[in-house]
Amino acid sequence: MANVQATSLSGKVAFVTGGSRGIGAGIVRRLAAEGASVAFTYSSSEERALQLVHEIESRGGHVSAFKADSGSASELQSTVLHASETFGPLDIFVSNAGILSLGTIDTYRLDDFDRMVNINVRAAFVGVQAAARSMNNGGRIIVVGSNIAVRTAFPGGSVYSLTKAALTGLVRGAAIDLAPRSITVNNVQPGPTLTEMTSNHVDSVKPLIPLKRMGDVSEIASLVSYLASDDAGFITGTSITIDGGYVA
């Protein structure tokens, strides 16, 4: 990440859930590099969160980390409110926190189902609602879903697919609800992206991707950054898949 200078998001206040690692950390880095002041949550990776804060601050960026469990509506709501009171009304909100638990439909545990829906769907709704209440008119809301909403493709992914498909409906409705305030709401659907969680599956996944490579975290973050910018002001209520042609 280059040293921060006046760029497209200078003066903006951003909030990212699940921002300490993987795609979330990439988004935090990119928004900070574009000049935004970024608050992000983490649930358990405190050391990673603090390392990310140090990294960005050493480059002149403005960033703060907040410990919050996205599965707790009250924690997420209070953290969004605290961030907006500390840094000012939000301009950008990115709902990125999510979990993955695989299992075929005939064996899937109800407890796992409830947790997946709680983190992947309910927390997205809670975060979007809380952010909208603390957001400037003309703000940007971006939900990070998955291309599995379009193509499940493998056994054991039915519940994960269900949760990510639910986000496509959420952003359509939220976009209409918030349009009078010129707040846009969009869903980014990454495909196979190289992170620590996917590093063991590269060889099996790459042949399925027309571009024959995994996505890079920076590419996902770049799309999020664009949707957060003024240039994307006429894009709302849509789900954009970024997966190297995997679902083509």
Cα separation of 223 and 226, whole Å? 5
> What residues does 95 pair with on adjacent strands?
143
Strand order in the sheet with 37-42: 62-67, 37-42, 13-16, 90-95, 135-144, 184-190, 239-242
Q: Is 160 a catalytic residue?
A: yes
Cα separation of 9 and 168, whole Å? 26
Annotated active-site residue in 42, 108, 160, 226: 160
β-pairing, 62-67 with 90-95?
unpaired
Nearest to 13 by CA among 51, 75, 63, 77: 63
CA geometry: angle 211, 19, 128, nearest 5 deg: 95
Q: Which residues are catalytic?
A: 160
